[in-house]
Amino acid sequence: MFILVNGLIAGLGLAAFLALGDGLFGTDTFSVLIDVSYVPGMENLPSIVELLIHLLISIGVAFFLMYFYPRGQSRGVASYLGYWNLGFAAAYVIFSWLSGTVMSWTGFLIWVLGHLLYTVMLMIQMEKHR
């Protein structure tokens, strides 16, 4: 239940941050986050269904991030979360390409900051849950 709730909250926080960034800076990071039209059979899903898919993925990511979380090692935590964020940064390039979205440095920065927020939200909960 802990991972489910925190995965949903962090996923919603990420989606809200990216949507806000899109509104302020005219980027398309939120659409990159939820777009699944490149998956066969999922071409015409409503946006709400795509968001629900994102939240399910968020729960899965939260499970793995929290399951392998290096408890009690502050240096290990920073490296661990850094590797996750490198993976999220690479995901922006891959998912932008798959969805046909124009990539920009502003969009990339918003994406990275949003995913940093996502991992920090999960880290705070892990530290509280110790």
Cα–Cα distance between 31 and 47 in angstroms, integer?
9
pLDDT digits (tens, 9 = 90+) for 75-86: 788 888 889 999
Say yes or no to pLDDT of 129 above 80: no
Output the average pLDDT for the chain. 90
pLDDT tops 80 at residue 127: no
Higher pLDDT, 13 or 78: 13
**What is the tens place of the pLDDT at every residue in 57-76?**
999 999 998 888 887 777 78
Task: Answer whether residue 130 shows pLDDT above 70.
Answer: no
Q: Which residues contact 123 (CB under 8 A, 6 or more apart)?
A: 69, 77, 81
> What is the pLDDT at residue 67?
86
